[in-house]
Structure 1
Amino acid sequence: MVRVVQKVSSSRAFAKVAPRVIPALDRTVHRLTGGRVLPAASLLPGVVLTATGARSGLPRRTPLACMPEDGGTWVLVGSNFGRPGEPAWTGNLLAHPEASISWRGREIPVRAQLLEGAEREAAWAAVLAFWPPYGTYQARVERRIRLFRLTPREHPGARPANQTVKGPSDRQ
């Protein structure tokens, strides 16, 4: 089943329809269930990111797939479903890295870090192992897809180097 969904999510038709449908559905259900349910998270883990708008200064809520890491951090992938432009939330985090996420019904203050260099390369390899369609998205666009690591603000920020990340097919 996971392979079928990966194939569908890699299609250009999905890239056209999904950005309009999935976030709206996720936002609505998340709000109605008090943050307990995020429909897209039934396939991939997901958060609702609340970041300050880069231009408006207003809070912006965006449901996003994420890759949870051992040690209590998350990686967000600015894939924009393989479409050319950067997703707005990535610009928001660059301008205002202090944000919060709703994760499994809990609101968690986080600090976002744009990953670069060797740290980005290691995270990208883990992201591709976790959800291979991200590779298809990258192949479709000329920009380098941004990766952010979210660290809880009350967390010291250190992440053990020997962490393992489980993909969707490893989940029970």
Structure 2
Amino acid sequence: MPTSVPSFQQSVIDEFRANEGKVGGPFEGGDLLLLTTTGARSGVSRTTPLGYVRHGGSLLVVGSNLGGPRHPGWYHNLLAHPVVRVEVGTRSFEALAVPAEGARREELFAYVVRAAPGYGDYQAATSRLLPVVVLERAEPEGWEGPGEVRTLADKLLEVHTWLRGQLRQVRAETDLHFASRGAAGTAPGLGLQIRQRCLAFCQALEFHHVSEDGHLFPGIARHHPHLAETFDRLADEHRAVARLQDGLAALLAPVAIADPARFRAELEEMSSQLDAHLDYEEEALLPLLADVPWPPAGPPAAP
């Protein structure tokens, strides 16, 4: 459930949505988007109007907070919940929010200032380094999905394909990090790109498994009581994966992943166990779901 927002912000949000992304007042003529984040502590959604700058296929937003001494709340939210919702014009889509670091942050901030010089004034007004956040597509690289989704089996396979793709991308980025270590053989803490994508993956996996345990599995089990051992095994595997997931989440809690080698080892263990679990689940459940239409039919219309 969304939280309340200041009346001025709410008026901008309402005007944005009523006029296909166009607003007047101080934002007239500017590039404006709506960013919806999930509260780091509250877990509820919060929508904020923000200026943005296009950069290739991504959008850049800056945590300027009008040059104030603290990062804005939406920035802390996206560090805790990296998948955000973005509204631009009439489009609405999910994005992965990744703060830029080091030389890349400097390069992107200079790019933003060339397009919108006011951000340079905000940086000059504070000793705080203004975060530059890249809003990029949330799907794994090369994601096309498994094809048309017409049945519950198709939907389950789509979710599994997305999870596998996310995990492959995190592993590839982690391997690249280790391959580019300095000559001394030491690697700095893993970057925010890896952290944000892995955290998004862990949160999506947790939501998927909770949904299966709470809804999908009990619904199937009622019609197939002879598969009790199968569902017991699936539940055991969910618990085993959750323990690994909790370990990864603990390593991801700080902004910097301080123990890259341990992270890599636990990520490999997660990958091995999750792949085996998804293979077994698909073998056991896809044939049972192949004739169940998706999306489910709604209730019959009232006479």
For residue 15 of structure 2, give the secondary structure of its aligned residue in structure 1. Answer: helix
Query: Structure 2 matches for 1:23-172, cutoff 5 A?
Result: 23-33=9-19, 36-39=20-23, 42-70=28-56, 72-154=57-139, 156=141
Structure with max Cα Rg: 2
Offset at 1:140?
0.8
- Relative to structure 1, is the Cα distance of residues 82 and 102 closer, same or farther in structure 2, using a 3 angstrom cutoff? same
Indicate conservation of the 8 Å contact 2:21/2:33, yes or no: no
1:38 & 1:55 partners in 2: Cα distance? 32
**1:55-89 Cα distance to aligned partner (Å, 9 max, x none):** 1100111110001122x210010001112221111
4+ residue runs over 3 A deviation: none
Q: What are the Cα deviations for residues 116-172 of structure 1, in whole angstroms up to 9, with x where unaligned?
A: 011101101101101111111111111110110000223739xxxxxxxxxxxxxxx
For 2:136 and 2:63, how far apart are their aligned partners in 1? 17
Alignment correspondent of 1:166:
none
**Structure 1 residues 84 and 122: CA distance shift in structure 2, 3 A:** same
The one-character-per-residue Cα deviations of 1:3-52 (angstroms, maximum 9, x if unpaired) are xxxxxxxxxxxxxxxxx78633311212444xx13416533211100110
On the 8 A contact 1:46/1:63 being kept in 2, the answer is yes
* Number of residue equivalences: 135
For the structure 1 residues 44 and 32, does the alpha-carbon distance in structure 2 shift closer, same or farther, using more than 3 Å as the test? closer
For structure 1, list consecutive stretches of 5 or more residues without a partner in the other structure: 1-19, 158-172
Task: Check conservation: 1:67, 1:76, Cα contact below 8 A.
Answer: yes
Letter in 2 for 1:91: H
Gaps of 5+ in 2: 1-5, 143-303
CA distance in 2, matches of 1:65, 1:50: 14
Q: Return the alpha-carbon distance in structure 2 between the equivalents of residues 152 and 41 of structure 1.
A: 25
Kindly tell me: are residues 41 and 110 of structure 1, through their superposed partners in 2, closer, same or farther at Cα, counting changes over 3 Å?
farther
TM-score of the pair, normalised by structure 1: 0.71
Higher helix fraction: Structure 1 or Structure 2?
2
8 Å CA contact retained: 2:52, 2:59: yes
Superposed CA deviations along residues 80-100 of structure 1, whole A, max 9, x for unmatched, are 111222111110111111111
| TM-score of the two chains, using structure 2 as the length reference | 0.42
Q: CA 1:155–1:64 in structure 2 vs 1: closer, same or farther (change >3 Å)?
A: farther
Structure number with higher relative contact order (C-alpha < 8 Å, ≥ 6 residues apart)? 1
Conserved? CA contact 2:64–2:123, under 8 Å: yes
Q: 1:60 to 1:21 in 2, by over 3 A?
A: closer
In 2, Cα distance between the equivalents of 1:50 and 1:80?
A: 16
RMSD: 2.0
Alpha carbons 1:64, 1:76 under 8 Å: kept: yes
